[in-house]
Amino acid sequence: MLSDPMAVFAFLAFLVALVFWVSGLPRYSHLFEVIPPVIYVYFLPMLTTTAGITPASSPAYDWMTRYLLLFALLLLMISVDLRSVTKLGPVALFMVVAGTVGIVVGGPVSFLIFGSFLPPDAWTGFAALSGSWIGGTANMVAIAESVGTPESAFGPIIVVDTVVGYGWMGILLVFAGWQHRFDERTGANTSAIEETNERLAELDQDRHPTTMRDAAVMIGMGMAGAVGAFEIAQTDLFPALGDPTIISKTTWAILIVVTGGLLLSFTRLREYEKVGASHLGYTALYLLLAGIGAQADLRAVLQAPVYLAAGAVWIAIHVGILLLAARIVRAPLFFVATGSMANIGGAASAPVVAGVYHPAMAPVGLLMAVAGYILGIYGALVCAWLLSIVAT
């Protein structure tokens, strides 16, 4: 029904707006308690394409993939407060890194077990899922672009991300009632929780309304940075690497934006987070995810049972490495749970889990998720490389 690129973009933007508007209505809040809005943002466009409302391919999707991801990543990286992350303390950071290692190792091992039951290009879907499970949706899209994950592989990956990822989150919430018994049995050093909380006591939570000047600067800076990074990555200075390709021209553009954004976060540009830089970045990211959903093949979801089994094994390896790390540093269950969600769920879920274990520690969960997000793009590229080796 829709063919004009601008009409396609407008329709997807309307769907994203509708999802988030409905998610804020008390009457329908129960629909988003288990399944977050981002999943609806992906699946609804998939259904509209299946129904023939939106096309499976459009110049609008190409433009969104090329520039909206870079725009979103730049604003998200500029918003990172690395100084606050460093105040988390060694135990918290060690557990975040342990969780990341669990994902990087678990993906290739799980694919080695289940890969023969899956399509030949399924490793690219696993690579995209590793991005989601080391930092969140932005990293998933970035890695998918890097390794060329086909649209058909996204359906089952989103199912695994939702069912296994959020299923594990539910288990962690149940374990909150057992944390004292766990800490006593393992001899955990619970003073690390109070020490971390003291380090974060002076965090600045000040925010202001977005002005016209703020919006103009953020949009202009974000688009200029996105286009600039893309054009620089096309030069001969940045060759494609790997066979199959792991570091593509798109990957170089992503790395330029992520690394440059982190460096800019040490400047006064980070002040734009107080007026919603990360919110603008996430908005662009959700628009992009809607475009990816519109290209996906709904029939690929039929392959989900094997993917679900692979995802369960993957999470089990991740948890095993986390528990080993907790034993080494005598970390409380709080840091095991929050370190896991900082990777698997990202900034949307880690504060929730942290708050259930210790209500005053939700900011710790957020910053641990930021630490996982920073590791995500680099760690997931390593995981993608390992997956490509296993696949070949």
Dihedral angle computed from the Cα positions of residues 120, 121, 124 and 130, in that order, rounded to the nearest 10 degrees: -40
Q: What is the pLDDT of residues 109-143, one digit of tens each?
A: 999 999 888 888 889 999 999 988 987 777 788 88
Task: Find residue 163's DSSP bridge partners.
Answer: none
Structural domain boundaries of the chain? 5-201+214-391
**Angstrom distance (rounded) from CA 74 to CA 19:** 25
Q: What is the pLDDT of residues 57-109, one digit of tens each?
A: 899 998 988 888 889 888 888 887 777 777 777 888 899 999 999 999 999 99
Whether pTM exceeds 0.85: no
pLDDT number for residue 255: 83
For residue 231, give the amino acid letter. E
Would you report the helix, strand and coil content of the chain in percent, each value rounded to 5? 80, 0, 20
pLDDT higher than threshold 90 for residue 311: yes
Give the helix ranges, DSSP H, for 234-303. 249-264, 277-295
CB 295 within 8 A of CB 151: yes
- Tell me the three-class secondary structure of 12-42, residue by residue: HHHHHHHHHHHHCCHHHHHHHCCCCHHHHHH
What's the average model confidence in pLDDT over 165-179?
83
Task: Find residue 247's DSSP bridge partners.
Answer: 241
Enter the tokens of residue 352: 């929730």
What's the average model confidence in pLDDT over 30-43?
77
For residue 378, give the amino acid letter. Y
Counting residues of the chain whose pLDDT is more than 70, the rounded percentage is 91
